[in-house]
């Protein structure tokens, strides 16, 4: 149990930044450029893994890079919870990179250098969020992530995409301003913004101020896409599929929910949140989002948009877990971050594969597509079953914890929300599976040339689905072990 | 006395001589003009750095012109406040003079080039003089030197509208100068001195006098016109938009900042915080007007169809940020304001350089003509994006750091609603900056498919002498932000000095 000063966290972030420069420099030579992306991504994942044993042993890696402003140095700290996010981001980014290369080349997309450059900077920002030692550093990376994902969202540059891009920026910029206000208010109240396991705000201001502060944070982390501030996420579906995967699983929404869990566990602390009855507020928002977003998903025929509403709904599981303010609830919330990420990225990968192979985006047009792309369609079914929370997939793990939390916390109505949502999930996913695998196409000739996507896309799909199965059988390694350490930290079972 | 002790006077005397030299050699051959101006301004910049280091090390430097002690003689004073400003403005002047050569060749009639460089040199000299003088009347003289040079320079572009812009500025500038002169006269009547340090010690006894109040108001109004503090900004958009590119860069960065400096100097060291907060409480009003300026300037910027005009209104908004610091008047906010004086000069200089290069290349500054510009001018657009990010206040740029200090200062003073306006202002900045980004990068979906096959070289995009200073300033936006702690070493003492400390 010690803080170890180490440059590795900084190196992890520096690798993709360096790669982004090289990507610009090698832009003319596609293979070399993609080589840079893959090399950097592997190097990044390896550096993250280097720290894993240390973090599992309860150590934290810290480094202060630069003095910044009053309120926080530019400092990194790798703890167990940050490690969860970093592991998710780094490993999924590797798969997403292969997938993106296959996808972009198959569709002969324009401006690929810009695309891979932005992705590299964005992953650096995401890892930065995971490793931030204080609110200010987190804010810096959070804003960079907002800006650098904009060119990805508007990649196709159609008027529709530009409109979606404006919406995306408007939500996230305004959110960023709320976040900045929250960070500064935190500093004014306490004189620090360093994360402390178990929180550091208690007793620093009146209940009202602290409640307002929490709402500022909540709006600030609009990347968590809770309703009614979710509009940017379905709009951003106009982006190429690897970008959707990046937004929905690798980094962006994950950064939002990560931020909220960070705030709950490391700024407010569960006890203070209970005193301020913030759990109730969060529970209401989360329950509303879970149910309503599922209903929206039911109504969507566009596969990617349906998945987007599914994400909105699933993210609120994490908020719901936090709102229970209990060990089981918090564990469920944290566990749902990697679990949902691996499942959802599989679904997006499949949606993209269908676009590449068959050019279809509407669910109603996908009849019988499973006969032409059996592996892809089966993987979709596997991941969808996982999201619904059925064994033998990872989804059930977080749901069990959440259900436990609901019972433990004495709010059985939340249990009802979870069950209702599971039914709704099944209602919007099973028809897709049925359409893909069991229905027969109205126009078989149109599907004549459809086949499985290129291997760079197919292998990541199989891997992410496979990992989701593995997490079910071996939950402890490494995610649940890390989460256990994180929970122990914030509940002070072990002194930090 | 060693030579280094005379640097303060060299800062003004040598450039005045240089401007005469430019004129004289220009008769012989106009190719001599540029190198002389370049060398003079670069050496001024180096000298200012040396002075700042000395001041930070050994305290305020007081230089008596001709060894005449004040109050009889004129005193040059360099402390941590104007030492910092001096370096900032000469950095920008140096970048501008490098940038100017090719831009001037294109935009100024060949027979006007000699007088252009003479006036350019005089303008810089006047501004440096305003910055380092310790005498209010001397301040007025330098103000007039710089103003008259500026009126002429604005009119030197070949566009017909530039005469009108120059004339408007001449009228308003003269009104401002009149106010300032009246203010100085009143101060002299009350105290019998024109030396700033003596004024500061003699004035408190007369703080209750109507003469002092009217002097304060005259000076306040006069300089508010000069800094284009909303709603006294009317001369600014035309003057910025119609001048030759190099002049726009110089007046929008160096000249605007020196006027701001003079206002800070008068309010904080001649009148002191005791006067502006207690005897004649004006900070609340300044704060209110500053927030109005931030919002109104940004909204007007959003409404513009012309890039230079948009940037000009953005300046009106950004001046609001600096005045905001003046209105809050606590240490953290003033640090933010001073950072913003430097930061805004660097980013706005860069943005106007981009605008100038676009005019150089394409002969237009209409936003609608810039569709897909990032394909043909990638370096300029990247520089714009970086400086623009700083304008919006995206971390880790200098723009974020100064806004952070300002918001923190406002929070600390309990001025929460004002802090909220500040944050909204950065959102508005995002809107007008993003219009260009969207047009330049994403506005041309059809032409975008061959990007990877282009090879871009500096020669194709513009002359190296225009690209280099632009890129340097863009990178400085980032470096100043990341290494803001180094700047705080100079800004911290300056803010304390303004508040009457060390």
pLDDT at B347: 93
Span A139-155, average pLDDT? 91
A48-78 exposure pattern, b = at least 16 Cβ within 10 A, e = fewer: beebbebbbeebbbbbebeebbbbbbbbbbb
Q: Tell me the shortest Cα–Cα distance from B445 to chain A, in angstroms.
A: 5
Pick from A29, A185, A55: which is nearest to A112 by CA?
A: A29
Q: Which of A66, A113, A162 is closest, CB to CB, to B442?
A: A162
User: A303-323 and A395-408 helices cross at what angle (nearest 10)?
Assistant: 40
User: How far does the CA of residue A141 sit from the closest CA of chain B (Å)?
Assistant: 8
**What distance in Å separates residue B374's CA from the closest CA in chain A?**
12
Alpha-carbon span B100 to B168, nearest angstrom: 24
A162, B485: Cβ pair inside 8 Å? no
Cross-chain Cβ contact B442/A165 below 8 Å: yes
Q: What SS3 state is found at B78?
A: strand
Å from A109 to nearest chain B CA?
Answer: 8
Is B419 part of the contact surface with chain A (CB cutoff 8 Å)?
yes
pLDDT at B74: 84
Question: Which residue from A minimizes the CA distance to B422?
Answer: A177
Mean pLDDT value across residues A205-225: 92
For chain A, give the number of residues: 496
Residue B500, sorted as left (phi over 0), alpha (psi -120 to 50) or beta, turns out to be: left
C-alpha triplet B234, B238, B241: angle, nearest 5°: 140
User: For tokens 């759990």, what's the residue?
Assistant: A279
Respond yes or no on whether the N-terminal peptide bond of residue A392 is cis (omega within 30° of 0).
yes
Neighbours of A81 (CB within 10 A): 26
Chain A contact present for B478, CB below 8 A = no
Chain A: residue nearest B407 by CA?
Answer: A184
Nearest-neighbour CA in chain B from A111: distance (Å)? 6
User: Which pLDDT value is given to residue A462?
Assistant: 92
CB contact under 8 A, A187 and B442: no
Range in A280-289, A375-384, B217-226, B267-276 the model is least confident about: B267-276
Residues in chain B, how many? 502
- For the ranges A4-18, A479-493, B16-30, B65-79, which has the lowest average pLDDT? B65-79
Q: What is the DSSP letter of B303?
A: T
List of chain A residues whose C-beta atoms are within 8 Å of the C-beta of residue B404: 69, 71, 180, 184
B174: exposed, middle or buried (Cβ count in 10 Å: 0-12, 13-18, 19+): middle
Interface of B with A in 141-180 (CB under 8 A): none
Q: Does the pLDDT at position A281 exceed 80?
A: yes
B-chain CB neighbours of A29 within 8 Å are none
B408 and A154: CB-CB below 8 Å? no
3-state percent breakdown (helix, strand, coil) of chain B, nearest 5: 80, 5, 15
pLDDT attached to residue A392: 81
Q: With an 8 Å Cβ cutoff, are B449 and A66 in contact?
A: no
- Closest residue in A to B392 (Cα) is A173
**Is the CB of A188 less than 8 angstroms away from the CB of B389?**
no
DSSP A446: G
Contacts of A69 in chain B (CB under 8 A): 401, 404-405, 408, 484
Inter-chain contact B442–A157, Cβ cutoff 8 Å? yes
Phi, psi of A239 (to 5 degrees): -70, 160
Tell me the H-state helices in B303-415.
Answer: 307-328, 331-362, 373-376, 378-392, 398-412
Which residues from A are below 8 Å from B442, CB to CB?
151, 154, 157, 162, 165
- State the average pLDDT over residues A365-387: 88
Q: Three-class SS of residue B76?
A: strand
The tokens of B117 are what? 């460089």
- Say which of B400, B434, B451 has its CB closest to residue A110: B451
- The radius of gyration of chain A from alpha carbons, rounded to an integer in Å, stands at 21
Q: What is the ipTM of this complex?
A: 0.86
Chain A positions touching B481 (Cβ under 8 A) are: none
pLDDT in tens, A70-114: 777 888 999 999 999 999 999 999 999 988 988 888 888 888 888
Tens digits of residue pLDDT in A223-270: 988 888 988 888 888 888 888 888 888 889 999 999 999 999 999 988
Chain B residues whose beta carbon lies within 8 Å of the beta carbon of residue A164: none
Q: Which residues pair with A308 in a beta bridge?
A: none
Nearest CA in chain B to A158: B445
pTM: 0.90
Nearest beta carbon to residue B448 from set A69, A110, A162: A110
Rounded Cα distance between A320 and A336, Å, is 11
B453 in contact with A at a CB cutoff of 8 Å? yes
DSSP string, A26-88: TTT-HHHHHHHHHHHHHHHHHHHHHHHHHHHTT-EEEEEEEEEETTEEEEEEE-HHHHHHHHH
Q: Where are the domains of chain A?
A: 3-490
Please list every residue in chain A whose beta carbon sits closer than 8 Å to the beta carbon of residue B430: 169, 173
- In this structure, the number of other CB atoms found within 10 A of the CB of residue B378 comes to 17
Largest pairwise CA distance in chain A: 70
- The C-alpha of A144 sits at a distance from chain B's nearest C-alpha, in angstroms, of 7
Report the DSSP pairing between strands B75-78 and A3-5. Answer: unpaired
Question: What is the mean predicted confidence (pLDDT) over A369-389?
Answer: 89
Handedness of CA A425, A428, A434, A437 (dihedral sign): negative
Of residues A28, A156, A162, nearest to B452 (C-beta):
A28
B405 contacts on A by Cβ (under 8 Å)? 69
A125-131 mean pLDDT? 94
pLDDT at B446: 53
- Give the closest-approach CA distance of B89 to chain A in angstroms: 24
d(CA B375, CA B452): 10
**pLDDT for the residue A249:** 82
Measured CA to CA, the distance from residue B155 to residue B174 in angstroms comes to 16
Average pLDDT, stretch A129-156?
Answer: 92
Q: Would the CB atoms of A111 and B453 count as touching at under 8 Å?
A: no
Contacting B with CB below 8 Å, chain A residues are 27-28, 30, 66-71, 74, 110-114, 139-140, 143-144, 147, 151, 154, 156-158, 162, 165-166, 169, 173-174, 177, 180-181, 184-185, 187-188
Residues of B in contact with A185 (CB under 8 A): 411
Q: Which pLDDT belongs to residue B63?
A: 84
Q: Which residue of B has its CA nearest to A179?
A: B423
Could you count the other beta carbons within 10 Å of the beta carbon of residue A365? Answer: 18
Residue A180 to residue B394, Cβ atoms within 8 A: no
The two three-digit tokens of residue B452, written as one number = 């990877």
Looking at the partner chain, which of B395, B401, B438 has a beta carbon nearest the beta carbon of A162? B438
Asked if residues B389 and A147 have their Cβ atoms less than 8 Å apart, the reply is yes
CB contact under 8 A, B427 and A173: yes
Nearest CA in chain B to A173: B427
- pLDDT of A156 reads 85
Helix (H) or strand (E) holding A469: helix A455-473
Block means of pLDDT (10 residues each) for chain B, length 502 residues?
A: 75 88 85 87 90 85 80 83 90 92 85 87 92 90 92 84 88 93 92 87 85 91 91 88 89 90 90 82 90 94 92 93 91 92 93 92 86 85 92 89 91 88 90 90 59 48 88 92 87 86 54
| C-alpha distance across the termini of chain B, in Å | 27
Give the pair of three-digit tokens for residue A148.
Answer: 């650098």
Tell me the nearest-neighbour CA distance from A399 into chain B, angstroms.
38
pLDDT at residue B192, as a whole number: 86
A184/B484 touch (CB, cutoff 8 Å), yes or no:
no
Residues of chain A with pLDDT > 70: what percent? 99
Chains A, B: CB contacts within 8 A come to 84
> Among B405, B444, B452, whose Cβ lies nearest the Cβ of A69?
B405
CB atoms within 10 A of CB A162: 18
Nearby residues of A299 by Cβ (< 8 Å), 6 or more positions away:
none
CB-CB: which of A71, A111, A165 is closest to B451? A111
Taking an 8 Å cut-off on Cβ atoms, the answer to whether A177 and B423 are in contact is yes
Distance CA B11, CA B1 (A): 17
Return the pLDDT at B455: 46
Q: What distance, in Å, lies between the first and last C-alpha atoms of chain A?
A: 8
Q: Which of B396, B405, B448 is nearest residue A157 as measured by Cβ atoms?
A: B448
Is residue B501 within 8 Å of B421, Cβ to Cβ?
no
Q: CA of B335: which chain A residue's CA is closest?
A: A69
CA angle B33, B38, B39 (to 5 degrees): 105
Is B395 at the interface with chain A, CB within 8 A? Answer: yes
φ/ψ (deg, to 5) at A200: -135, 10
Dump the DSSP string for A149-195: HHHHHTTT--HHHHHHHHHHHHHHHHHHHHHHHHHHHHHHHHS--B-
d(CA B228, CA B237): 10
């Amino acid at each position: 149990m010690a803080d170890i000063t180490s440059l590795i966290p900084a190196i992890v972030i520096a690798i993709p930044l360096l790669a982004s420069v090289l990507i610009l420099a090698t832009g003319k030579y596609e293979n070399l450029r993609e080589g840079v992306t893959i090399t950097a991504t592997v190097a990044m994942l390896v550096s993250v893994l280097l720290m894993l044993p240390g973090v599992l042993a309860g150590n934290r890696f810290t480094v202060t890079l630069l003095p910044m402003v009053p309120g926080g140095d530019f400092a990194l700290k790798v703890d167990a919870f940050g490690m969860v996010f970093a592991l998710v981001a780094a490993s999924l980014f590797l798969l997403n990179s292969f997938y993106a290369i296959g996808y972009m080349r198959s569709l002969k997309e324009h401006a690929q250098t810009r695309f891979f450059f932005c992705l590299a900077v964005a992953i650096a920002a995401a890892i930065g969020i995971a490793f931030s030692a204080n609110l200010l550093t987190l804010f810096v990376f959070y804003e960079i992530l907002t800006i650098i994902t904009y060119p990805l969202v508007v990649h196709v540059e159609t008027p529709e995409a530009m409109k979606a891009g404006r919406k995306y920026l408007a939500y996230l910029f305004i959110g960023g301003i709320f976040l900045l206000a929250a960070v500064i208010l935190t500093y004014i109240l306490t004189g620090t913004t360093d994360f402390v396991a178990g929180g550091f705000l208690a007793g620093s201001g009146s209940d009202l101020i602290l409640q307002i502060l929490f709402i500022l944070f909540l709006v600030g982390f609009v990347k968590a896409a809770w309703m009614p501030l979710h509009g940017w996420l379905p709009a951003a579906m106009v982006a190429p599929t690897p970008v959707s995967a990046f937004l929905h699983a690798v980094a962006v929404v994950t950064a939002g929910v990560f931020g909220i869990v960070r705030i709950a566990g490391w700024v407010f602390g569960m006890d203070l949140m209970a005193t301020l009855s913030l759990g109730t507020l969060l529970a209401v928002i989360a329950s509303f989002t879970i149910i309503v977003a599922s209903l929206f998903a039911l109504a969507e025929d566009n596969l990617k948009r349906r998945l987007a509403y599914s994400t909105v709904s699933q993210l609120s599981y994490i908020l719901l877990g936090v709102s229970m303010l209990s060990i089981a609830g918090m564990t469920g919330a944290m566990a749902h971050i990697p679990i949902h990420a691996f499942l959802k990225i599989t679904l997006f990968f499949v949606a993209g594969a269908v676009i590449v192979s068959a050019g279809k985006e509407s669910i109603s047009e996908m009849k019988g597509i499973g006969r032409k792309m059996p592996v892809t369609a089966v993987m979709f079914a596997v991941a969808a079953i996982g999201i619904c929370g059925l064994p033998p997939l990872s989804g059930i793990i977080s749901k069990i914890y959440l259900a436990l939390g609901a019972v433990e916390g004495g709010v059985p109505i939340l249990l009802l929300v979870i069950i209702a949502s599971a039914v709704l999930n099944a209602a919007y996913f099973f028809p897709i599976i049925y359409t893909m695998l069991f229905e027969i196409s109205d126009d078989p000739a149109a599907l004549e040339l459809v086949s499985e996507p290129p291997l760079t896309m197919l292998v990541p799909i199989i891997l992410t689905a496979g990992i989701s199965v593995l997490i079910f059988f071996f939950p402890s390694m490494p995610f649940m072990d890390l989460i256990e350490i994180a929970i122990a930290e914030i509940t002070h079972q072990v002194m930090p | 006395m060693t030579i280094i002790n005379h640097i303060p006077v060299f800062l003004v005397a040598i450039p005045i001589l240089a401007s005469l030299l430019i004129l004289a050699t220009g008769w012989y051959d106009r190719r001599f003009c540029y190198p002389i101006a370049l060398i003079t301004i670069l050496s001024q910049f180096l000298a200012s750095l040396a002075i700042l280091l000395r001041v930070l090390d050994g305290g305020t430097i007081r230089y008596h012109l001709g060894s005449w002690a004040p109050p009889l003689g004129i005193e040059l004073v360099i402390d941590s406040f104007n030492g910092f400003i001096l370096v900032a403005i000469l950095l920008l002047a140096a970048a501008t003079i490098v940038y100017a050569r090719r831009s001037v060749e294109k935009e100024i009639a060949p027979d006007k080039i000699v007088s252009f460089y003479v006036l350019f040199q005089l303008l810089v000299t006047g501004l440096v003089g305003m910055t380092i003088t310790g005498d209010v009347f001397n301040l007025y003289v330098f103000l007039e030197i710089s103003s008259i040079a500026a009126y002429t320079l604005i009119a030197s572009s070949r566009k017909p509208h530039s005469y009108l812009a120059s004339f408007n500025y001449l009228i308003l500038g003269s009104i401002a100068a009149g106010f300032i002169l009246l203010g100085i006269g009143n101060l002299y009547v009350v105290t019998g001195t024109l030396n700033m340090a003596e004024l500061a010690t003699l004035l408190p006894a007369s703080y209750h006098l109507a003469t002092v109040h009217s002097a304060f108001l005259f000076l306040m109004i006069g300089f508010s016109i000069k800094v284009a503090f909303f709603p006294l900004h009317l001369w600014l958009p035309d003057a910025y938009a119609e001048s030759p590119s190099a002049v726009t860069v110089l007046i929008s960065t160096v000249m605007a900042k020196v006027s701001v400096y003079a206002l800070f100097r008068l309010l904080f060291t001649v009148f002191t915080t005791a006067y502006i907060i207690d005897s004649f409480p004006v900070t609340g009003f300044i704060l209110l007007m500053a927030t109005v300026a931030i919002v109104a300037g940004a909204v007007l910027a959003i409404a513009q169809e012309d890039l230079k005009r948009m940037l000009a209104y953005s300046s009106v908004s950004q001046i609001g940020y600096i005045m905001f610091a003046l209105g809050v008047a606590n240490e953290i906010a003033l640090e933010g304001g001073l950072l913003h004086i430097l930061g805004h000069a660097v980013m706005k200089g860069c943005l106007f350089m981009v605008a100038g290069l676009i005019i150089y290349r394409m002969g237009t500054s209409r936003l609608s003509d810039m569709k897909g510009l990032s394909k043909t001018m990638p370096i300029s657009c990247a520089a714009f994006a970086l400086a623009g990010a700083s304008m919006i206040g995206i971390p880790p740029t200098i723009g974020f750091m100064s806004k952070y200090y300002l918001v923190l200062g406002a929070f600390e003073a309990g001025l929460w609603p004002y802090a909220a306006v500040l944050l909204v202002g950065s959102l508005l900045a995002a809107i007008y900056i993003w219009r260009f980004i969207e047009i330049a990068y994403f506005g041309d979906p059809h032409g975008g498919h061959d990007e990877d096959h282009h090879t871009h070289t500096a020669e194709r995009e513009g002359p190296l002498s225009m690209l280099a200073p632009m890129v340097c300033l863009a990178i400085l936006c980032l470096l100043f932000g990341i290494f803001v702690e180094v700047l705080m070493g100079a800004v911290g003492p300056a803010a304390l000095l303004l508040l009457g400390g060390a």
